[in-house]
A = this chain, B = another copy of it.
Amino acid sequence: MFPMETLPSERATVHRYAHRAAYDRPTIDSILDEAFVCHVGLQTDQGFPVVIPLAYGRRGDVVYLHGSAASRLFRGARADGVEICMTVTLVDGLVVARSTYNTDINYRSVVLIGSASEVKDLDEKRLGLDRLVEHIIPGRTADARRPTEKELRSTMLLALPIVDATAKVRTGWPADDDEDYELEVWAGVVPVRTVYDGPQPDPRLPPGPVVPAYASPYRRPAMSGR
């Protein structure tokens, strides 16, 4: 069914609610491309993991993560052989079931486990940072000032290969117990969406620059990772 490289490894296999799991790359990529903030977990030697939100960008089979060269997470995550977990979640709806027990959330998520490597080559770093900015604001790199060599050197970029990735998706109506359908109580779904309002110009902007098309109206692209 699946090409070899998308076969889930044991650790990335969904054990609970396995019918909600999807291992195909188009599903995984569409979730990664619609969101732009992920939560990255890193083990520590103090008995607890650290989970922090990070912006990311996808380019083909790689996710680029951007952080400060001095940050605790990035110092740990770039170490050889260290594996991190990157999770992306899109919330699509509140599932208002007839019983509180079956109350649920419609969502799409991706869990990606792997070794991140530090991108040291300046050309790849430039490309990765561009991808990150384009992932958040498609079209922006054509206008904004590009990074200087000094900026590139003070930035840490991690590349995480998309190998051990699993998507989990819940859609649709409440899954109530048979007898609960007799109850006289409203049930359904409240759809949840992320919206982008009209761009607010920086007060320090001189008269002149017009709002570029990619900011007004801003729309999340359905697919941005190339």
Contact A140 B196, CB 8 Å, known A53-B87, A173-B204, A174-B202: no
- Chain copies in the assembly? 2
List chain B residues, Cβ under 8 A from A144.
Answer: 96-100, 103, 185
B140 A87 Cβ-Cβ under 8 A: no
A16 B188 Cβ-Cβ under 8 A: no
Contact A193 B190, CB 8 Å, known A86-B51, A87-B52, A103-B140: no
Contact A186 B212, CB 8 Å, known A51-B39, A53-B109, A84-B49: yes
Q: 21 A-B contacts, Cβ less than 8 Å apart?
A: A11-B48, A41-B41, A41-B85, A47-B81, A50-B111, A51-B86, A52-B109, A53-B87, A94-B196, A96-B199, A96-B215, A100-B147, A143-B185, A184-B206, A184-B208, A186-B205, A187-B205, A189-B199, A189-B200, A190-B200, A195-B195
A residues sitting closer than 8 Å to B (CB atoms) are 11, 15-16, 36-37, 39-43, 46-53, 55, 68, 70-72, 81-87, 89, 91, 94, 96-101, 103, 105, 107, 109, 111, 113, 129-130, 132-133, 136-137, 140-141, 143-148, 151, 155, 173-174, 180-181, 183-206, 208-212, 215, 218
